[in-house]
Amino acid sequence: MNLRPPNATVSEEERQQVYNEDLPGLSVSELYAEMFRTGRIVARYPRRFIWRGLTPITVRRWGDERIEACRALLGGRPAQRRQGPVRAWVH
């Protein structure tokens, strides 16, 4: 697992990551894994810059956009809360 911000000049794969173009081809489990990886990158390098063309953006902003894009592809499903066991009424 590569925990560094993507660089669009390195490869086509990293260019797609910078512009979030790689996300539509991922499965549900891969989207969750990508959200986790992106969160770790943001926690490690929050103030570094990623260049989109001639425009620099912070890794934090890129991460927020990427996680929101993942959530949109997942259908915006909120995490389901698990309820404890139901107790029987005793009189």
Question: In DSSP terms, which residues pair with 56 in a beta bridge?
Answer: 51
Angle (nearest 5°) at CA 50 between 25 and 23? 10
At residue 76, the pLDDT reads 58
Task: Indicate whether 89 belongs to any domain.
Answer: no
For the stretch 28-82, pLDDT in tens is: 999 999 999 999 999 999 889 998 888 899 999 999 999 999 999 998 555 555 5
At residue 41, the pLDDT reads 94
Q: Which pTM does this prediction carry?
A: 0.77
Task: Indicate whether 82 belongs to any domain.
Answer: no
Q: Using the predicted structure, report yes or no on whether residue 4 has a pLDDT greater than 60.
A: yes
CB 46 within 8 A of CB 39: no
- Provide the number of structural domains found in the chain: 1
Task: Indicate whether 83 belongs to any domain.
Answer: no
CB 6 within 8 A of CB 50: yes
Task: Indicate whether 17 belongs to any domain.
Answer: yes
Task: Indicate whether 23 belongs to any domain.
Answer: yes
**Which alpha helices (DSSP H) does the chain contain, by range?**
12-18, 28-44, 59-73
Q: Which residues span the domain enclosing 19?
A: 12-73
Task: Indicate whether 29 belongs to any domain.
Answer: yes
